[in-house]
Amino acid sequence: MGILMLDEVTWGDVDKLDRDRTIVFLPLSPIEEHGPHLPLGTDYYAARDVAEMAVRLISEKESAIDCLLVPPIPLGSTEMTMDFPGTISVCGETLARIVRDICSSFARHGFKYIVICNHHLDPVHVKALLEGVNRVVQEYDVKIIETVGRIFYSGMKTKQGIHLRNMGLKVSQEIHADATETSFIKYRYPRLLKGTYKELPSVRVDIRACTLKGMTTFKAMGADQGYIGSPAQATEELGRMHLEELAELTAELALKLYRNEALPEISKEMMAVIDSSIKLD
């Protein structure tokens, strides 16, 4: 059957899927401010587009596998950017329950593989997704992964990271509505990019040092326009690379999950932070 869009098919179509050969893709990312130049839907669009591209890659490569694509969920924990209107933040515990409820719905229907396509790296958000996943896998025989935490918090070398360095930028300083995210919108949704991005000065924030000082929002940390990084350096080439590389890596992670192969893990250092200092409520 290839790719099924969950919202377009009937329950009977879903029921025909072989549970042992189907991967469910759940795009999930918040509506959140992305500086004075990018739309609030930046992460939401990226999660959706990466998921759509990843299922296409899988169906081209692996005709024996069916992909069930869930409509994107516009939710996330985003307290760090709540100083800016339009941002919608869901408490971590609520998000964990939503993830649990959605994934367990698929598990109750017998599905065995679920990939949560996420594009938001706020530690509370990532912790909530992991917590939601843990609750489901304890109850049902199902394998579930979240994607960008495993990609960006595992220390994995990426093409876009190398590209950023070649542009004279540091991955650790491109954090939010930065060169990469601005490039993504410039490449994919140019009509939604405000031309003033070219005049935005670089904003550098040492999030770890600011957090140790007790600061909890990007604005308090000095990002008074809601971006951290160098949006003025955005290029379509970097935007295309970001989308295509994330889609390729997501497809790879999904196939590893399906084949029971080793997956990249969030680094021990980051997991220690998530476990000890991040609260869900």
Beta bridge partners of 24: 68, 114
Which of 43, 49 has the CB closer to Zn ion?
A: 43
Beta bridge partners of 145: 115
Residue 261 has, within 13 A of its CA and on its CB side, a CA count of 8
Which of 50, 255 has the CB closer to Zn ion?
A: 50
Q: Quick check: 16 and 24 in contact, CB under 8 A?
A: no
Rounded to a whole number of angstroms, the minimum distance from the CB of residue 132 to Zn ion is 20
- Contact region for Zn ion (CB under 5 A) — 39-47, 98-106, 132-140, 190-198? 39-47
- What is the DSSP secondary-structure string of 88-152? ----HHHHHHHHHHHHHHHHHTT--EEEEEE----HHHHHHHHHHHHHHHHHSS-EEEESHHHHH
| Residue 33 binds Zn ion, judged by CB under 5 A | no
Interaction residues for Zn ion, span 180-209 (CB under 5 A): none
- Contact region for Zn ion (CB under 5 A) — 43-51, 57-65, 148-156, 234-242? 43-51
Which of 68, 246 has the CB closer to Zn ion?
A: 246
Rounded to a whole number of angstroms, the minimum distance from the CB of residue 4 to Zn ion is 28
Which of 33, 131 has the CB closer to Zn ion?
A: 33
Which of 43, 146 has the CB closer to Zn ion?
A: 43
Rounded to a whole number of angstroms, the minimum distance from the CB of residue 35 to Zn ion is 10
**Residues contacting 279, CB < 8 A, separation 6+:** 92, 124
Q: Which structure tokens are listed for 51?
A: 């998921």
- Contact region for Zn ion (CB under 5 A) — 42-50, 65-73, 150-158, 234-242? 42-50
Which of 34, 163 has the CB closer to Zn ion?
A: 34
Rounded to a whole number of angstroms, the minimum distance from the CB of residue 119 to Zn ion is 6
In angstroms, the CA 5 to CA 105 distance is 16
Q: Quick check: 187 and 240 in contact, CB under 8 A?
A: yes
In angstroms, the CA 5 to CA 40 distance is 24
Residue 207 has, within 13 A of its CA and on its CB side, a CA count of 16
23, 37, 43, 102: which one contacts Zn ion (CB under 5 A)?
A: 43
Rounded to a whole number of angstroms, the minimum distance from the CB of residue 34 to Zn ion is 6
Q: Which structure tokens are listed for 276?
A: 């000890």
**Residues contacting 121, CB < 8 A, separation 6+:** 148, 149, 152, 153
Q: Which of 180, 172, 177, 241 is nearest to 209 (CA)?
A: 172
Rounded to a whole number of angstroms, the minimum distance from the CB of residue 81 to Zn ion is 9
Size of the site for Zn ion (CB under 5 A): 1
Q: Which structure tokens are listed for 55?
A: 């299922």
Nearest position to Zn ion, beta carbon:
43
Q: What is the DSSP letter of 3?
A: E
Rounded to a whole number of angstroms, the minimum distance from the CB of residue 178 to Zn ion is 9
Rounded to a whole number of angstroms, the minimum distance from the CB of residue 184 to Zn ion is 9
Interface residue list for Zn ion (CB under 5 A): 43
